[in-house]
Amino acid sequence: MLKVFIALIVALALPPLVVDQSWLLAYLAQTATLIVLALSYNLLLGETGLLSFGHAVYSGLGAFAAAHAFARFGVPLPLLPMIGGCAAMLVAVVFGAISTQRAGTSFAMITLGLSELVAACVWLVPGWFGGEGGVTIDRASGPSFFAMTFGPPREAYALIACWCVISAVAMFAFSRTPMCRLANAVRDNPARAAAIGFAPARVRLHVLIVSAFFAGIAGVLALINVELVSSESVGLARSTSALVATVIGGAGTFAGPIVGAVLLTFFSVGLASVSTAWPMYLGLLFMWVVVAAPEGVAGLVRRDARSLCIGMLSAIAWGVAVVVPVEALYAGRTDARAWFIALPCALLGLWLARRTRTAR
């Protein structure tokens, strides 16, 4: 696990030292934010088995509270994530009391309803949430901290990266506590957990509160990065990105959400600049992970070399089979050549996939 943290620190610290480009800093800051959000989401999905569609409620409302605290009371910027995290915890105490009574399907639907409720309310009350424009902050306006004003992107990025690493370490420590083991017990067998004296609903609520705290930190990190929190920050799309990153990376391992967050940011920033069809590819990758690799991309490395190789070849063949016709359709061409390339590739992919299944 030490390797994961060293890799994380190197990946966050090295690129800005080598290349001084503002887009790179923005990209890395976005990745760091999503890493915290996905890790906090995995406390629910991976550790407790709760599928939530309203995780952005906690990160978004935490960010709104932090933005107001920063503007009104002049809280120092480095401490702002704590404010956001605590505000998100308070929100979780209220919403969690309703949602954590049930697990599984009911929990998913209740969180979906709460998420829509909050998103609609944010539009309704422009006095608190800034309406269409959102709430903006000027991150350089706060008191300076060891001669750092956090105005330049470099200083703000350093702050975000530090908080990302601190949160990741804290969440790893949390995943080793007895409380998290109880969450695992509730995930695997709620009746038995109840029988030995731990009410499942109470355990779920506690984990939700911890998870919301880190989600609030993630929300504030996004606020520091773009200096804006708007209705998008609490919307379903943001919750969805936390879910997609966690599942693609793999909910079963601690490093999974980190891998997923890196992949998702690459898709939504890197691939989006090349192709408008990127959500399609993301959706297909998501479905492929759910069907064929439930342990996620991070879990693939655990497989043996042979099935990994065949699996990679199969994935590449499928990728070509999907990308060629999709790009042809988006370009408005409907010639047969795209299908002549795509169909053999799909068949090859299918054949290779069958081989991995028999090999296992």
Partner 1 sequence: MLQWFCVSLLNGVSVGLLLFMLSAGLTLIFSMLGVLNFAHASFYMLGAYVGQALAAYGGFWFALICAPLIVGVAGALFERLLLRRVHARGALADMLLTFGAAIVIGEGVKLVWGFGPLPAAVPRVLDGPLFMLYGASFARYRVFMMTVAVVMLGALWLVLRTSKTGLIVRAALTHPATVETLGHDVPRVFTMVFAAGTALAALAGVIGAPLAVIEPAMADAMGPIVFVVVVIGGLGSLGGALVASLLIGCVQTFAVGASATAGGIAASLGVTLPPAWSALTVAQLAPVLPYLLLVAMLAARPRGLFGERTRDA
Instruction: By CB under 8 A, tell whether 90 contacts partner 1.
Output: no
Token pair 């949160």: residue: 167
Of 14, 120, 309, 359, the one binding partner 1 by CB under 8 A: 120
Distances (CA, A) of 210 to 70, 103, 158, 159: 23, 17, 25, 22
| Closest residue by Cα to residue 261 from 251, 272, 275 | 251
Instruction: By CB under 8 A, tell whether 125 contacts partner 1.
Output: yes
Segment near partner 1 (CB under 8 A), from 154-162, 171-179, 261-269, 272-280? 272-280
Distances (CA, A) of 53 to 126, 243, 244, 287, 292: 24, 8, 11, 17, 23
Instruction: By CB under 8 A, tell whether 98 contacts partner 1.
Output: yes
For the bound state, the minimum distance from the C-beta of residue 134 to partner 1, rounded and expressed in Å, comes to: 15
Instruction: By CB under 8 A, tell whether 152 contacts partner 1.
Output: no
Contact 241/283 with Cβ under 8 angstroms? no
Identity of the residue, 15 or 113, whose beta carbon is nearer to partner 1 in the bound complex: 113
What residues contact residue 344 under an 8 Å CB cut-off, 6+ apart? none
Identity of the residue, 3 or 72, whose beta carbon is nearer to partner 1 in the bound complex: 72
Of residues 188 through 207, those in contact with partner 1 by CB under 8 A are 190-191, 194, 200-201
Segment near partner 1 (CB under 8 A), from 26-34, 116-124, 153-161, 263-271? 116-124
Instruction: By CB under 8 A, tell whether 287 contacts partner 1.
Output: yes
Instruction: By CB under 8 A, tell whether 17 contacts partner 1.
Output: no
Count of residues interacting with partner 1 (CB under 8 A): 46
Of 183, 209, 247, 324, the one binding partner 1 by CB under 8 A: 247
| Closest residue by Cα to residue 86 from 103, 65, 108, 110 | 65
Instruction: By CB under 8 A, tell whether 143 contacts partner 1.
Output: no
Our measurement of the distance from residue 136's CA atom to the centroid of its chain's CA atoms, rounded to an integer in Å, reads 23
Of 294, 301, 333, 347, the one binding partner 1 by CB under 8 A: 294
For the bound state, the minimum distance from the C-beta of residue 252 to partner 1, rounded and expressed in Å, comes to: 12
According to DSSP, residue 152 is labeled S
In the shown chain, the binding pattern of residues 48 to 87 toward partner 1, with x for contact by CB under 8 A and - for none, equals -x-x------------------------------------
Identity of the residue, 36 or 243, whose beta carbon is nearer to partner 1 in the bound complex: 243
Half-sphere exposure of 320 (CA within 13 A, CB side): 16
Instruction: By CB under 8 A, tell whether 128 contacts partner 1.
Output: yes
For the bound state, the minimum distance from the C-beta of residue 90 to partner 1, rounded and expressed in Å, comes to: 17
Distance CA 187, CA 47 (A): 7
Of 121, 301, 343, 359, the one binding partner 1 by CB under 8 A: 121
For the bound state, the minimum distance from the C-beta of residue 310 to partner 1, rounded and expressed in Å, comes to: 19
For 124, the token pair is 């309704």
| Closest residue by Cα to residue 225 from 58, 40, 37 | 37
Q: Residue 264, SS3?
A: helix
Contact 264/66 with Cβ under 8 angstroms? no
For 349, the token pair is 């992919």
Distance CA 64, CA 66 (A): 5
For the bound state, the minimum distance from the C-beta of residue 283 to partner 1, rounded and expressed in Å, comes to: 3
**Buried/exposed 93-123: b ≥16 CB within 10 Å, e otherwise:** eebbeebbebbeeebbebbbebbeebbeebe
Residues of the shown chain interacting with partner 1 in the complex, contacts defined by CB under 8 A: 49, 51, 98, 101-106, 108-110, 112-114, 116-117, 120-121, 124-128, 190-191, 194, 200-201, 236, 243, 247, 277, 279-280, 282-284, 286-287, 290-291, 294, 326, 329-330
